[in-house]
Amino acid sequence: MNNDQPPIGEPSLLDYLKSRLKFWERGQKIEIPAQEPEPTHPAEDTFPVMQAEKQETMGKPARKASRVFQWPWRSLLALIFALLGQRMLEPAPNRGATAGLVLYAFAIAWLILACLRKEWTLAPYPETGSGTDPLRVKPVQLILGIALSGLAFLTLGNNLFTRLNVTLWLLAIIFFAWAFWLPRENQAQFWLRLKDFFTRDSWQLKVTRWSLVVLAVIAVVVFFRVYNLGGVPAEPFSDHAEKLLDVYDVSQGQTHIFFPRNTGREAIQMYLTLLASWVFGTGLTFLSLKIGTVFCGLAALPYLYLLGKEFGGKRIGLLAVFFAGIAYWPNVISRVGLRFPLYPLFVAPTFYYLLRGLRTRNRNDFIVSGLFLGLGLHGYSPFRIVPFVVVAAVGLYLLHSQSRGSRKQAIIWLAILAVISMIVFLPLARYWFDNPESFNYRALTRLSSLESPLPAPAWQIFLSNTWNALRMFNWDNGEIWVHSVPHRPALDVVTGALFIIGVVLVLIRYLQQRHWQDLFLLLAIPLLQLPSTLSLAFPSENPSLNRTGGAIFPVFLIVAIALDGLLQAIQSRQTRRAGTVVVWIITLGLAGLSVAQNFDLVFNQYATEFRLGAWNTSEIAEVIRQFGQVNGTVDDAWIVPYPYWVDTRLEGDWLGLPAKDFAIWPQDFNTTLAITGAKLFILKPEDSADVDLLKQLYPQGVLSTFHSAVTDAGKDFLIFFVPPAN
């Protein structure tokens, strides 16, 4: 026997090197055994607990354990330094990053020490399923689905939804989903339980402490999202006028698939706004737009909770919902009344069912994920990046050991997801086929030199944009006042600090365990920011809180994972009662700080910035309303357009006349001479030439200045009143 060869069944040196080079295959690592240490006594701080547990497992009465009161002081120091560091990055007259970065360096150093001492540990992932897909498909339903989708595509022309093509389209979706759907093993038992539930004579409601906490979180979140919705933000602008015209078109029977006005918009918001106007009786108004988008922002949060459970447990889910629910970033993009929250709304369920499907190896989850992926493409154009992120997620899964035994199935599941999403996308696919320039115009104007030449080489702009987007959470979220407080972090002090801590913790766990979801959670952030970072022609639009909205979910999951790890560290090192008290004190303290800052950001700073940035169309509309009440009509009131001033269609929205434009151009002043009743002209103070022209036409006219409630912002306007002819 050759003594140079390893014994049979033992790994060779080459096997060891191969296992170490496969960094993604955590389960395949070969370790060199160390010399077995001498047995030692348990540490004093853990011994009483271990002894008590040992006695209990032996069935003998245990002495009451006296766990030593112990602080995870390294973890707490890391948190304190991170909070101080993030506080230094807040806007200030002499703002600088140096002090904040130094404090963050101390925080990360203490955090690494805490991890080495296993002080700050993260919750484990749920167990991976072991099911096998039978790879069956229902051929009859599949053939019907193919036929119906073909008929739907043929009838979806003219950019209009009709009863016929919508019926064919919905049937195609149903038959495709039916063809791939696998019946549950306990499906009969489910229906029996459901029948038993509804046939009971009485129901019992069980209220637990957890359910009370959940209800409290829901109450706080709903308050933040709906409080003073009519006043924050205060004024619409031109994009809202375009949206309300689109909604008006739908109300008049023009049921478009894609709305080409204003460089093109997908359909969901238009139909949702019309529904909100009917349900709440708010009409085709700015408020109806905001009601619809706030609903979208709230509807996404249950899936954030479910995603939290996929990443470690229900406490992570609830913490993520709380901090995202009160946060200024998701709040303002929901309140502004544009399509912005439709991006995160469909990102959340798409990735929840995708991740759960990969973990449980359940084909049905991929079908549901495909449904939400297809629906999301009808919502907001930045969502078009999500199919690529889905492919990236499955690719990461295939490269890691968690996919062992199901890699071929995962590729099939991805194909099923893609087919289902394509069927849901079918109406837009037909519009894209008929009008590729219109469908792609908005994206191409940002990505290429179609509208404006690139200010630098594309790769340089992209790298700069990526850097700026990654630091938006803790430093600068951009300069767009419509959906942000310019040049401040997208996160508050508490969540900003927890986010940096969470990124480090998740990265460390990935290096230790090689779990694909950790790597995906980190990479999902820049991937979901691509609609903003790919604004190469207009880099000043990056970062933008609306086009990065899909990143809300990985960001706040990381925040929740970090805080949950700290709370677990406290609970594991103190007595049960003391640990519970300390956990509540820290949680409520951090939550209180976050609530206070976010309330100020949304209802004071953002509200003020928006009011200063938007023109006071509501005040102009109120003047016209009063004129109409006195004179019986608003048809004899006009607004003289002026560059970079009010949109003359918005006053009609305030007055419940969404199709009316109050503009009158100077060359048309003469047409008003035939009107014998009172007349009203509203002008910008700088428009002296048109004021002089009106004075020549109407010497009897009275000129006055309306002083806006928004003082020192140039919001005053002129009123030229012409009394009725005698």
Give the mean model confidence (pLDDT) for residues 356-368.
Answer: 96
Whether pLDDT at 12 is above 70: no
Task: Quote the pLDDT of residue 82.
Answer: 98
Task: Quote the pLDDT of residue 574.
Answer: 74
Task: Quote the pLDDT of residue 586.
Answer: 96
pTM of the model: 0.89
Share above pLDDT 90 across residues of the chain, in percent, rounded to a whole number: 81
Read off the pLDDT of residues 231-244 as tens digits, 9 standing for 90 and up: 999 999 999 999 99
Give the mean model confidence (pLDDT) for residues 688-702.
Answer: 97
Whether pLDDT at 34 is above 60: no
Read off the pLDDT of residues 423-466 as tens digits, 9 standing for 90 and up: 999 999 999 999 999 999 989 999 999 899 999 999 999 999 99
Longest dimension (CA), the chain: 125
Q: Are 329 and 477 in contact (CB under 8 A)?
A: yes
DSSP string, 209-256: HHHHHHHHHHHHHHHHHHTTTTTSS----HHHHHHHHHHHHHHTT--B
Whether pLDDT at 56 is above 50: no
Read off the pLDDT of residues 497-544 as tens digits, 9 standing for 90 and up: 999 999 999 999 999 999 999 999 999 999 999 999 999 999 999 999
Task: Quote the pLDDT of residue 188.
Answer: 64
B/e letters for 620-650, b = 16+ CB within 10 Å, e = fewer, are: bbebbbebbeebeebebbbbbbeeebbbbbb
Q: Where do the domains of the chain lie? A: 73-116, 137-181, 182-186+207-612, 617-722
Give the mean model confidence (pLDDT) for residues 158-169.
Answer: 97
Taking Cα atoms as reference points, which of 294, 183, 324, 337 lies closest to residue 650?
337
Encoded amino acid at 436, one letter: P
Rounded-to-integer distance, Cα 237 and Cα 142, Å: 47
Task: Quote the pLDDT of residue 128.
Answer: 85
Task: Quote the pLDDT of residue 64.
Answer: 44
Residues near 641 by Cβ (< 8 Å), separated by ≥ 6?
648, 663, 665
